[in-house]
């Protein structure tokens, strides 16, 4: 049996799920779906920064375009620590396409003109 707190809404239900994917503790259907997903295919979004060659800032804020497999997060973060882009860059511009063959892009969350 696994236990964790649901993060889908502010209620923060204490969920329990067994090996047969029977869920308890959820107050809504979204909690049920979250618990099953968290056990069968956990995913997380990334928000971080990468280096940028710019006169105005040193780090460019970026995020994943969609959630990524949880087991790949640390390797992706390590990879992104070595990424450097050059200004100018647009908001939502792809910084890394299809990172680690996940089908997910890393995109900028700020425009830098210089």
| Segment 55-113, tens digit of pLDDT | 999 999 999 999 999 999 999 999 999 999 999 999 999 999 999 999 999 999 999 99
**Other beta carbons less than 10 A from residue 90's beta carbon:** 12
| Encoded tokens for 15 | 């969920």
Domains of the chain: 2-41 (no CATH), 47-108 (3.10.530.10)
Identify the bridge partners of residue 94 per DSSP, sorted by sequence position: 107
Q: Tell me which DSSP letter residue 35 carries.
A: H
- pTM, two decimals, is 0.86
| Encoded tokens for 64 | 């994943």
Specify whether the CB–CB gap between 79 and 51 falls below 8 A: no
Q: What are the pLDDT digits (tens) for 35-66?
A: 999 999 999 999 999 999 999 999 999 999 99
């Amino acid at each position: 049996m696994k236990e964790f707190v649901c993060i889908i809404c502010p209620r923060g239900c204490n969920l329990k799920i067994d090996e047969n994917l029977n869920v308890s503790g959820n107050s809504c259907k979204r909690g049920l779906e979250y618990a099953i997903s968290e056990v069968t295919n956990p995913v997380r979004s990334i928000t971080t920064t990468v280096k940028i060659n710019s006169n105005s800032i040193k780090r460019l804020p970026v995020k994943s375009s969609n959630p990524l497999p949880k087991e790949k997060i640390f390797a992706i973060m390590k990879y992104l620590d070595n990424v450097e882009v050059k200004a100018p860059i647009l908001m939502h511009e792809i910084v890394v396409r299809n990172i680690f063959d996940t089908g997910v892009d890393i995109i900028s969350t700020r425009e830098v003109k210089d």
